Structure 1
C-alpha cells in the first residue's frame, strides 16, 4: 500500500485503481477512501483513480496536532500527487473533500485539469450553515439515534428502507469507525473553519458544482454561492437527493460527472 509523506512527516496512505488519465476523488469529513466504494469502479473504468485516506483516517497517520485544516489537506493531496508521479489531474471532491478541492484548485492551479465540487460549501461566514435542528439531531447523546439522524441526512427514507430490507447494515459515508477521538474533533474543526470565499475567484479550472436539491446537511443554497464565485462554473442540482447524492442517485450523478470530466476544450 503506497504512502506519501506530507511536509510535516505525516504518512498519507493512498490507493490507485483503474487505467487512463488521473482522477482524484476526495472524501467527506471523518471519512477515508472507502467513502467512494459504491461508485469507484464506474470512475476507474475510464480513469486512473486516486483515493486518499485523510490524515486521521484509514491507513494514514493520526497525529494529535494543529496540522488539520482544509488548506493543509490540500497540501497533503499535492504530496500524494508528487509521490504518485502525477503532474496534473481531474479532481472530484465532495462535502469536506469539496472544501479541500477549492484550495487545491485555487492555490495549485497547475495541478488541476478539471474540477467537480459536490455537496460542499465556501465556508463561513459567507456560506449557508446547517440549521439548529440538524445540529441538535447530530448531537444526541444516544449514539444510535445520532447515527440514524446522520443516515437520514445522507439518504432519502425510501432508499434507506430498501437497503435495510435487502439486509444492508453498513454505509461507507457515516465516518471511519476506527478514528480516534482527537482526529474526529480536529476534522470537525478543520471543516468548520473553512473559508475559501476570497480564493474561489482564483480558480481557473473548468468547474462543475453538483448538489442534492434536498440537502439539509450542507444546505443546497451553497451551490449557487460557490458557482457565482468561480469564473465560468456550472451548477447542477440532483432532484430529490440529499447529501450522499453521488451514491443514492449514482445513475444520474455519475454519468453527469463523467461527461463533464471527459469534455475537451473547444
Structure 2
C-alpha cells in the first residue's frame, strides 16, 4: 500500500490506476479516494489517475494534533506527486477537493497542467453558503434523517429512484470523530479569494445548477476570479453532478484535459514506487 510523507511526517495513502498523463483527483470533505470510483474507469482509460486519502480519511494517518486545513491538504497532495516522481499533473477537485485544488494551483503553479474545479466555493466572506436550514438538517441528532438530507443534496429524486445506493459520496464511515470535525472546520475556514487571480493553469469550472449544498453562484464567482476560466453548468444537477451526469461531465473534463496536454518529456518516465 503506497504512502507519501507529508511535511509534518503524517502518512498519506494514495491509489494509482490507468495510464497516460497524470491526473490528480481530489475528493470531497470527509471522503476517501473511493469518492471517485463511479467515474474513475472512464478517466483511467486515457489518464494515469492518482487519488489520495485526505489526512484523517481512508488509510491515511489521522493525528489529533495536526493542522487540518485546505491549504495543508494541498501540501499533502503535492507530497503525493513528489513520492511518485510526477513533476506536473492535471488536477481535478470536487467539493472540498476543489478548494484544495485552488491552493495547489495558486501555491504550486509549476506542478499543475490543466485544472478542473467542480461543485466548489472560493470560501470566505464572498462565497455563497448553503442555507442555515440545510446546516441544521445535516447536524440533526437523527443520523438517518441527516443521511437522507445529504442524499437529497447530492442527487435528484429521479436518480435515487432508479439507483437506491449504496452511495460512495456520503463520507468515510471509518473516520474518527475528531478527524470528521476537523474536516468540517477546514472546509468552512477555506478562503482562497485573494489567491484565485494568481492561478495561471487553464481552468474549467463545473457546477450543477440545482446544487443547494454549494450554491451554483460560487461557480460564477470562481470563473470570474480566475483569468480565462471557462464555466460549464449542468442544468438541473445537484452536488454529485459528476456521478449523476457522468456522461456530460466527464466529456467536458476530458475535452478540457485533451486541449491542454502536458507535453513533458518526463511524462513517459516511470512514476515511482507507488505504481
Q: 5+ residue gaps in structure 2?
A: 262-275
- Measured against aligned partners, the alpha-carbon deviations of 1:26-61 in whole angstroms (never above 9, x if no partner) come to 000000000000000000000000000000000000
* Structure-to-structure mapping, 1:60-75, within 5 angstroms: 60-75=60-75
Q: TM-score with structure 2 length normalisation?
A: 0.94
| Between 43-52 and 131-140, the greater mean CA deviation after superposition | 131-140
Deviation at 1:264, TM superposition (A): 3.7
Query: Which residue is equivalent to 2:213?
Result: 217
Query: Which residue is equivalent to 2:239?
Result: 243
Task: State the distance in 2 between where 1:73 and 1:264 align.
Answer: 25
Task: State the distance in 2 between where 1:256 and 1:35 align.
Answer: 19
Task: State the distance in 2 between where 1:101 and 1:47 align.
Answer: 18
Q: Is the 2:22–2:86 Cα contact (8 Å) retained in structure 1?
A: yes
Q: Is the 2:114–2:260 Cα contact (8 Å) retained in structure 1?
A: no
Task: State the distance in 2 between where 1:28 and 1:254 align.
Answer: 17
Task: State the distance in 1 between where 2:130 and 2:14 align.
Answer: 31
Q: Is the 2:113–2:260 Cα contact (8 Å) retained in structure 1?
A: no
Q: 5+ residue gaps in structure 1?
A: none
Task: State the distance in 2 between where 1:264 and 1:126 align.
Answer: 30
Query: Which residue is equivalent to 1:172?
Result: 168
Query: Which residue is equivalent to 2:141?
Result: 141
Deviation at 1:140, TM superposition (A): 1.3
After superposing on structure 2, the runs of 4+ consecutive aligned residues of structure 1 that deviate more than 4 Å are none
Query: Which residue is equivalent to 1:114?
Result: 114
Deviation at 1:67, TM superposition (A): 1.2
Task: State the distance in 2 between where 1:66 and 1:10 align.
Answer: 9
* Structure-to-structure mapping, 1:9-88, within 5 angstroms: 9-88=9-88
- What do you get for the CA RMSD once the two structures are aligned? 0.8
